[in-house]
Structure 1
Amino acid sequence: MENMYKVGDYVYFETSSTSPFQIRRIEELNKTPNGHVEAKVMCFYRRRDISSSLIMLADKHQSLLEENGETVPEEKEEEQSEKGSHQLKHRELFLSRQVETLPATHIRGKCVVTLLNETEALTSYLNKEDMFFYSLVYDPQQKTLLADKGEIRVGSKYQAEITSLLEGEDTRKLSELEDLIWQPCPENGITDKEIDQFQIVAKSVGTFARALDCTSTVRQPSLHMSAAAASRDISLFNAMHTLHEYKYNIANAVTSLVPDGGPVLCKDEMEEWSASEANLFEEALDKYGKDFNDIRQDFLPWKSLKSIIEYYYMWKTTDRYVQQKRIKAAEAERKLKQVYIPNQKPNPAHPAVLSGKMNGDQMSGRACESCYSSHSNLWYAWGPSHLQCRLCSSCWTYWKKYGGLKMPTRLVEFKLKTHLARHLATAHGLAIRPGSPKPVMKTRTAFCLVTTALTRLSRRLCKDLLRPKHAARLPFIPINIAAIKQECK
């Protein structure tokens, strides 16, 4: 059902009535003691949620993809390419491993989030409703962007190099390619019973060696724990290696177990790790799963990757692992599988809904800031309050879902007056003069815009290039000043 939400669904969450929805993936659904349902979710971030420096990195990553986009008809090429590129940024998300808990009643619908498919046209994401993609991973703590490890790798540089087929008879000597490490047989003068007896001797030596080792006595204070540690595979492998090294001569092999420096002590990763390190590992495993690189980077940087992987497979053979599996299975039985959330109908009492005298479906004031329409059944306040901008109901829904406007906004904010002057001169052929023609009526911070001589001349000589009506409909698109200068010469 459309209103049934289950674990693994990508959903919209509304945390503010005037801000865009947040996009999350449901990890768990839990029922609180007071009867409410909470969702444990994984966070996705939009472009508007990250810093401008990281957006520049994302743009470099996306510019390579836009070069492979589909073409559009010539008469709409300029407007469509800009509109498509603008809306495509609204579909881009950034995966994070940040997890939070939100009330399930704040869910506002489902969406689809996929890893960017480099073999698929980017326009395919725009043609599908509620469709998003991601290719970069955002770390909110470190403020970094990294490529996702699951990205599709296409091209010759990602293909395996296969060796040429060996023709004819294989002349290689297997004895030179392999190492013989175990070959007990009656010809070597040893029986299975003697091998078992030697392994018991090796375990006993290992137990005694742990009694002499200071660090081992702290971690295994009892004889029972020391004997259990000495009975693990590391001791048995060492015993078999020693037998093979001394050509299955038990007398020489036993002597080698107790050299001049003391009895041989063989430790595996289970003994090398402290209790606090083991707890850190279990916490990291619960957060990252079997992503050992992230476990090492965030939780155990002093351990090698080899050490962490070895410890993991040894840890899976312990009672601790079995207990955790049982606990998680019991928790999974108590968790909800799905939850029903009804649809939210448009509310005229919404804080962003503008009130006023309605004239049919038209209200006096500015047109929609996104689609420039002057007709809508509901109008919503948008942007800074002093600018009195508004959106129609259709564009408001788009804004809530995608975090942007359908078309680039006509509002351009400049922090410095010099930036505004440079933009007006280069993009629109306007000049700023300080002061005012009537300083008595204006404050000293007022200024007026005056067209340059080149702009006035181009209105008469370069109508085809300037296209005044087209420029008036799309005031946010810069005019090609260089082409106009060339024509006026």
Structure 2
Amino acid sequence: MAANMYRVGDYVYFENSSSNPYLIRRIEELNKTASGNVEAKVVCFYRRRDISNTLIMLADKHAKETEEESETPVEADLTEKQKHQLKHRELFLSRQYESLPATHIRGKCSVALLNETESVLSYLDKEDTFFYSLVYDPSVKTLLADKGEIRVGPKYQADIPDMLPEGDSDEREQSKLEVKVWDPNSPLTDRQIDQFLVVARAVGTFARALDCSSSVRQPSLHMSAAAASRDITLFHAMDTLYRHGYDLSSAISVLVPLGGPVLCRDEMEEWSASEACLFEEALEKYGKDFNDIRQDFLPWKSLTSIIEYYYMWKTTDRYVQQKRLKAAEAESKLKQVYIPTYSKPNPNQISSSNGKAGTVNGAVGTPFQPQSALLGRACESCYATQSHQWYSWGPPNMQCRLCATCWLYWKKYGGLKMPTQSDEEKSPSPTAEDPRARSHMSRQALQGMPVRNTGSPKSAVKTRQAFFLRTTYFTKIARQVCKSTLRLRQAARRPFVAINYAAIRAEYADRHAELSGSPLKSRSTRKPLSCIIGYLEIHPAKKPNVIRSPPSLQTPATKRMLTTPNHTSLSILGKRNYSHHNGLDELTCCVSD
């Protein structure tokens, strides 16, 4: 029951194709549609097979740099099989959201940020466990390091200097040290300090009344007084009181100089209403990722200004209202959903010898039944020849198959369980120095995988039909006589360039004239119609003999019968006439007395 219960925040497998690997997603929301179905709003994770080869090279470079920075590199200690399977556990986080039917969930998994203090073997030892360290943006096709990394290790610790002995001078730069701004042991009482702060607030309210921009933002006296009571006014007043040795008269004179009262503003007052709306929209999209907020929404603001505004915004009524609205929406949404175990047969299952499909994913307790289909073909991953269930894998014309264990590994991890000679670490893949070789290879071939059959005609490999090229006698003779003009080797290297047929014919005519002593006769032309008519008048065609049979009682008096087509009789010119060419013969009528 608990295994089939899915909650918000779970990492799950989604199936969008019967032949492709599962999609890995994180559930953000569970919503019920008008038709009664449940849809899940999810965050997308991408595998290595889903991104381009250029980004894969960047990811490998980042992993190598991370390994060099770590004190205990473990990549060299891994076997080829472990390195191969470790690439299947790497994911790339994205900011992309999508909605998928909850009925397409096929199980739970675990995804975590790569921890530099743990061994990578810990991810291989656990089933359904993945890691990520980079963020992929599918819209602009970029990879960035995740900013949520926690800096752990001795290189991130502060260097604490030794305690100075008495009498030694401090050689540190004093400007970089903290400065004392308040003394709790002041000669003033708490009541006197509170009275001074009230005077500072009143001066701030009066200063906002005199300022034109402030009167537009805070049109009422109540709003001006609330703005003057913020921390920026109080900090300025207490700092002024400290700098003047807690002398109230001197500090008050500084609050109201000759030019007018001092006006102190914080980020809440400096920002306009439109900028506040942009900030709330960016916060809804990126969360507390202030770098992305500044880059995409508020590039004219400094990072310090955005962070300061965020913590001031959290003290406003606007933040409280939004928090209450989100809590109310969360109460109305689904917290969890129950998805039963998917038990329908997979279309990629290879039927057994008795014509029945095997159990889905090889359920426990299924008796072993060897299959006669594709006899002699082993599993493409582990090369096993016996399995209680086989699955077709790859292009249909290749007739590849996987055993039940390797098929489940393919669906979960998006690759073959065992490394093969076609994998990228085995075969020398094209590099940036040889772009021509890379351009003639598909993305699946570069990653060591055959083309996947997604069920659509476009993804399947087109089967080439065999054909026979029948050459004429003239072509055969020209190959031997006109070798210098034909140049077979050059013509074979350029199959799409037309051959100069006229030059070859002219050379053949010259060679024929040299050998026989007479020029090559041209092809005889068709005789005119008058000559043919004259010949037919001199040599008339013979009429066919008609066989007359005596009448009988069993046959009717009048009988019409067709003669058997005689395809051997030819016309005068030695060619078939129209009747013979179209498979027709003259009708012969036999009339009995």
TM class by smaller structure:
0.7 to 0.9
Hey, what does 1:56 align to over in structure 2? 57
Superposition map of 1:274-353 within 5 A? 274-345=272-343, 347=345, 350-353=346-349
Separation in 1 of the partners of 2:42 and 2:222? 45
Which of 121, 137, 140 is residue 138 of structure 2 equivalent to?
Answer: 140
Amino acid at match of 1:229: A
Hey, what does 1:15 align to over in structure 2? 16
TM-score by length of 2: 0.61
Separation in 1 of the partners of 2:292 and 2:138? 15
Q: Is the 8 A contact 1:184 1:248 kept in 2?
A: no
Separation in 2 of the partners of 1:22 and 1:407? 21
Kindly state the Cα deviation for residue 444 of structure 1 after the two structures are TM-superposed. Answer: 6.3
Distance 1:361 1:179, change over 3 A: closer
Higher strand share goes to which structure? 1
Hey, what does 1:452 align to over in structure 2? none
Hey, what does 2:33 align to over in structure 1? 32
Moved more, 122-131 or 245-254: 245-254
Amino acid at match of 1:352: N
Separation in 1 of the partners of 2:493 and 2:414? 35
Superposition map of 1:70-469 within 5 A? 81-151=79-149, 157-167=155-165, 179=179, 181-182=181-182, 195-345=193-343, 347=345, 350-354=346-350, 360-364=370-374, 366-408=377-419, 419=437
Q: Is the 8 A contact 1:363 1:375 kept in 2?
A: no
Amino acid at match of 1:25: R
Q: Is the 8 A contact 2:391 2:403 kept in 1?
A: yes
In the alignment, structure 2 segments of 5+ residues that lack a partner are 356-369, 442-467, 472-490, 496-593
Q: Is the 8 A contact 1:185 1:191 kept in 2?
A: no
Separation in 1 of the partners of 2:288 and 2:219? 32
Separation in 2 of the partners of 1:152 and 1:289? 17
Separation in 2 of the partners of 1:272 and 1:169? 48
Distance 1:400 1:242, change over 3 A: same
Kindly state the Cα deviation for residue 310 of structure 1 after the two structures are TM-superposed. Answer: 1.7
Q: Is the 8 A contact 1:368 1:391 kept in 2?
A: yes
Q: Is the 8 A contact 1:363 1:374 kept in 2?
A: no
Separation in 1 of the partners of 2:119 and 2:256? 69
Higher helix share goes to which structure? 1
Moved more, 298-307 or 318-327: 298-307
Deviation digits for residues 142-169 of structure 1 (CA, Å, limit 9, x no counterpart): 4322333454656653343221244568
Amino acid at match of 1:302: W
Greater C-alpha Rg: 2
Distance 1:371 1:247, change over 3 A: closer
Q: Is the 8 A contact 2:186 2:246 kept in 1?
A: no
Q: Is the 8 A contact 2:353 2:371 kept in 1?
A: no
Q: Is the 8 A contact 2:14 2:22 kept in 1?
A: yes
Q: Is the 8 A contact 1:6 1:339 kept in 2?
A: yes
Q: Is the 8 A contact 1:362 1:375 kept in 2?
A: no
Kindly state the Cα deviation for residue 178 of structure 1 after the two structures are TM-superposed. Answer: 7.1
Separation in 1 of the partners of 2:381 and 2:190? 84
* 1:363 alignment partner, SS class: coil
In the alignment, structure 1 segments of 5+ residues that lack a partner are 73-80, 424-437, 448-489
Deviation digits for residues 256-302 of structure 1 (CA, Å, limit 9, x no counterpart): 33434433211011101112222222233333333333333333232
Kindly state the Cα deviation for residue 9 of structure 1 after the two structures are TM-superposed. Answer: 1.8
* 2:99 alignment partner, SS class: strand
Distance 1:216 1:71, change over 3 A: closer
Kindly state the Cα deviation for residue 32 of structure 1 after the two structures are TM-superposed. Answer: 3.2
Amino acid at match of 2:84: H
Separation in 2 of the partners of 1:85 and 1:363? 34
Separation in 2 of the partners of 1:141 and 1:121? 33
Distance 1:201 1:162, change over 3 A: closer
Kindly state the Cα deviation for residue 109 of structure 1 after the two structures are TM-superposed. Answer: 0.5
CA RMSD of the aligned region, Å? 3.9
Separation in 2 of the partners of 1:167 and 1:241? 33
Which of 68, 78, 82 is residue 74 of structure 2 equivalent to?
Answer: 68
Distance 1:178 1:356, change over 3 A: closer
Hey, what does 1:45 align to over in structure 2? 46
Distance 1:266 1:403, change over 3 A: same
Amino acid at match of 1:13: F
Distance 1:408 1:444, change over 3 A: farther
Q: Is the 8 A contact 1:31 1:38 kept in 2?
A: yes
Kindly state the Cα deviation for residue 48 of structure 1 after the two structures are TM-superposed. Answer: 0.8
Separation in 1 of the partners of 2:122 and 2:108? 19
Hey, what does 2:367 align to over in structure 1? none
* 2:181 alignment partner, SS class: coil
Q: Which structure exhibits the higher relative contact order, with contacts defined as CA atoms closer than 8 Å and separated by 6 or more residues?
A: 1
Distance 1:263 1:158, change over 3 A: closer
* 1:362 alignment partner, SS class: coil
Distance 1:71 1:216, change over 3 A: closer
- Identity score, percent: 67
TM-score by length of 1: 0.72
Q: Is the 8 A contact 2:353 2:372 kept in 1?
A: no
Distance 1:169 1:29, change over 3 A: farther
Deviation digits for residues 434-484 of structure 1 (CA, Å, limit 9, x no counterpart): xxxx9979x96999xxxxxxxxxxxxxxxxxxxxxxxxxxxxxxxxxxxxx
Separation in 1 of the partners of 2:437 and 2:242? 80
Separation in 1 of the partners of 2:182 and 2:131? 54
Aligned residues: 416
Distance 1:341 1:323, change over 3 A: same
Amino acid at match of 2:112: T
Kindly state the Cα deviation for residue 315 of structure 1 after the two structures are TM-superposed. Answer: 1.5
* 2:127 alignment partner, SS class: coil
Kindly state the Cα deviation for residue 55 of structure 1 after the two structures are TM-superposed. Answer: 0.3
Q: Is the 8 A contact 1:96 1:140 kept in 2?
A: yes
Hey, what does 1:3 align to over in structure 2? 4
Separation in 1 of the partners of 2:75 and 2:178? 53
Separation in 1 of the partners of 2:140 and 2:259? 49
